[in-house]
Structure 1
């Protein structure tokens, strides 16, 4: 498993599964001849994407960013439609780090779409229970509200099986929330009404997890947003404000979905200064 040291923080990418979504949907109005040069697709126009939570450790604390696609949460039809080729192995990944799900102190959710939230619950004797029973689950209030009362569009991705059994573990926040001294969550909207990004700062090092506002390295252009974004102009405005700052100050960018990169540091021209690449073996 790949790791990144960011000041006192240690980030480790766990195995959360893999799926393949339509490239046109993932890049919205961007023409295929442009996006396919940066992120190639298969013969079905699908692009390979990971679903890998990030374990963040500092001192005695264990935090998890998003939760993977879970196990036995999707029907065979859903697996086929979403191009799922592998379900989660998060528990096995944690065990490699000497941890159990019970050792997770916080779960930080960028948003609660199925591909980020299916790993929050698991089957136990035909009953769904929390996958991380001792963790405080942090999510924006807007996202938590929509998860429980989705609209006609969002009901296809906000599922009761992913929230009902964790109800008492959820701690919603408004606008901005400092989880610990080194980590802050910021409500952005854009991809979903309640989407949030995660900011890291430790020992002079800075980083940002854009979540699905920058699902892959190819999405760093502020105008390259998904057709899946409910509020694309909000995505564009946030990226337009923050991407230049991140490049100018050489912050680390971390990814949940990218098939090639775990993290990148870019210069102000957008050239790669440093990278943590995914081990594909």
Structure 2
């Protein structure tokens, strides 16, 4: 498993599953002739997207950034439509680190779309139970409200089975919240109305988890927004703001979806200066 040390923070990428979505949808109005130079595409016009949670360890606390695809949460039709070839192996990943789901103290949900939130619950008999029973679960108030009352567009990604059994664990926040010293969740909107990013700063070291504002390394261009974004103009403005901030701080940018890179550091000109590549391994 890939690791990255940023100040007091240790980041470890776990195995949360993989799906394959339409490249055109993932890059919105950007012509295929442009985006396909930066990210591989298969003969079905799909691109590979990981759904790998990040174990974030700071000051003795075990935290997760998002939760993966889960296990047995999708129908066979959904698996075909979303190109899900691998479900979550989160518990196996944690076991390799001598941890269990009971050891997770906090779960930081950038948003609650199914490919980020299915790992929050698991099916037990005819009902669903919380996977991380000892954890506080943080997400923006806007996101939490829409999760429970989706609109005509979002009803296809906000599912009752992913939230009904965790209600007592959720701690929604308004504009931003400091989880531990130096670690903040910040509501940005854009991809979803309640979408948030995660920023950690410790002296001169910084990482920024842009979540689905910059889903892959190929989305570095500030104008490249997904067709999946509910508010693409907001995505563009928020990406411009936080990427410029990251460039100035020489920050690491971390990824949940990228199939090739776990993290990339850029200079002031937006050029790569360091990378953590994703390893290919089996459990």
Q: Give the shorter-chain TM-score range.
A: over 0.9
State the Cα distance separating 1:230 from its structure 2 match: 0.1
Q: Please give the residue correspondences for 1:12-31 in structure 2 after superposition, counting only pairs within 5 Å.
A: 12-31=12-31
- Structure 1-normalised TM-score? 0.99
TM (norm. structure 2) is 0.98
Confirm whether residue 65 of structure 1 aligns to residue 65 of structure 2.
yes
> SS of the counterpart of 1:38?
coil
Aligned to 2:231: 231
**Which residue of the partner structure matches residue 138 of structure 2?**
138
CA RMSD of aligned residues (A): 0.8
Q: Distance in 2 between matches of 1:177 and 1:249?
A: 20
What SS does structure 1 have at the residue aligned with 2:144? helix
**Deviation of 1:245 (Å):** 2.1
SS at match of 2:64: strand
Output the CA distance in 1 between the equivalents of 2:174 and 2:58: 25
Within a 5 Å distance, the mapping from 1:78-227 to structure 2 comes to 78-227=78-227
* Structure 1 unaligned spans of 5+: none
Per the alignment, residue 257 of structure 2 pairs with: 257
SS at match of 1:237: helix
| Structure 2 residues not aligned, in runs of 5+ | none
- What is the CA–CA distance in structure 1 between the aligned matches of 2:270 and 2:204, rounded to whole Å? 21
- Superposed structure 1 runs of 4+ greater than 3 Å apart: none
Count of aligned pairs: 281
Deviation at 1:270, TM superposition (A): 1.7
Deviation of 1:162 (Å): 0.3
Secondary structure of the residue aligned to 2:36 is helix
Between the aligned partners of 2:87 and 2:54, the Cα distance in structure 1 is 16
Q: CA deviation at 1:222?
A: 1.1
Cross-structure match for 1:268: 268
> Equivalents in 1 of 2:61, 2:125: separation in Å?
30
